[in-house]
Amino acid sequence: MEESSQGSFVATINEEYETICWGCGLNLVLPSYAPVFKCGWCGAITNQNPVRVETRNFGLRRFRDRCFVVILAVFMLFVICGGIWAAFPVMFSISLACGIFHSVTAVSLAISTLSTFILVAFKCAGKPIDIVYGTHPGVGSGALNNYTFCPHCSKPKSPRTHHCRTCGMCVLDMDHHCPFIGNCVGAGNHKNFIAFLISAVISTIYASVMCVYTLIHILPPLENQAAYASDIAHANSLSVLGVVKNIMLAYIANALFFSVRGLVLVYLFVASFSVAIGLSILLWQQLSYIYEGKTYLSHLSSQGSEEDGEKSCGNLLTFFGCPLLIERYLPTVRNLRKRHKT
């Protein structure tokens, strides 16, 4: 606003408030400067001050992911090969049927875990759909509603798409970037990731049980069984932990326990059981987000807001591709809450 000689005010238009929408290419005149605005025609969201995060350590992060993938692959091969070497001779010594049964089970779980791991590690996590932008005749009304522009990929980015700095690309329905598979988890491989977790949890639990079962058969009998039987008989006066401690000390005192086969079985049990606990927690977390109709990133962005997704078993059925007719027989938590309030 400028004051003239007669005392009146003359309004002037500042050119910096005129901008172009990246989505449809139309010239927009804003009433005031706005760093972020939404086009009234195509619905695209423009950020005039985008923050471009430095990617100087891109090569280092990719190298870290490759190392994690190699470590995980070596660990799985060690569990498979070590379990076959340490446990299966004992299984076949028990009975031929027992050995065949456990061999078929172990090979099936190994093939399932390794195949799902390869799929989730090397399959595209989810490439966004190419969409026309930048020209008014080609972009219809609301065609880019709530779309943003990715400064890294120089492409439109839908609300369900996130840019991964480690992979250097935008991922549709991105859940998170997992360094242990060296890949993102998104719309393209989310099912494979859940299948890998399920297979890995079952395999590690099976390996833990087999290690304990094999150790029981290869450990020699206790030399002083009468003394420990007396301890167990007087369990009312002795604590259960004390009895277990005495039995463990007796086995450790036996020199045969420290054979190579026994040490490998003990290590396999500790490693498999620990991994099974961690993967079970991760699997439960993933299924909880799917049940809520969210991903991990959308869960983080929705924290602190009143918007709550519809929690339904139908979300799990839709995710795994089950028939939608089953959904009508399953309860919906959101509807149950509304009924309770009324």
pLDDT at 21 over 70: yes
pLDDT at 71 over 50: yes
User: Mean pLDDT throughout 173-179?
Assistant: 91
The upper half-sphere exposure of residue 75, i.e. CA atoms within 13 Å in the direction of its Cβ, equals 20
User: Please, which pLDDT band fits residue 276 given cuts at 50, 70 and 90?
Assistant: very high
pLDDT at 90 over 80: yes
pLDDT at 288 over 80: yes
d(CA 6, CA 151): 49
pLDDT tens-digit series, residues 190-236: 999 999 999 999 999 999 999 888 888 877 655 544 444 455 545 44
| pLDDT value of position 46 | 83
Which range, 19-28, 87-96, 150-159, 180-189, has the best average confidence (pLDDT)?
A: 180-189
d(CA 133, CA 43): 12
Rg value, the chain, Cα: 30
Q: Considering 167, 178, 184, 211, which one is annotated as catalytic?
A: 178
User: Mean pLDDT throughout 44-56?
Assistant: 71
User: Please, which pLDDT band fits residue 326 given cuts at 50, 70 and 90?
Assistant: low
- Mean pLDDT, rounded, of the chain: 78
Paired tokens of 172: 């549709």
User: Please, which pLDDT band fits residue 331 given cuts at 50, 70 and 90?
Assistant: low
- Out of 68-77, 119-128, 240-249, 326-335, which region has the weakest mean confidence (pLDDT)? 326-335
Higher-confidence residue: 57 or 191? 191
| pLDDT value of position 63 | 87
Using an 8 Å Cβ cutoff, are 287 and 277 in contact? no
Could you tell me where the DSSP H helices lie in the chain? 58-94, 96-122, 190-218, 225-233, 240-253, 260-291, 296-301, 313-319, 333-341
| Annotated catalytic residue 178 | yes
SS3 155: strand
d(CA 148, CA 171): 14
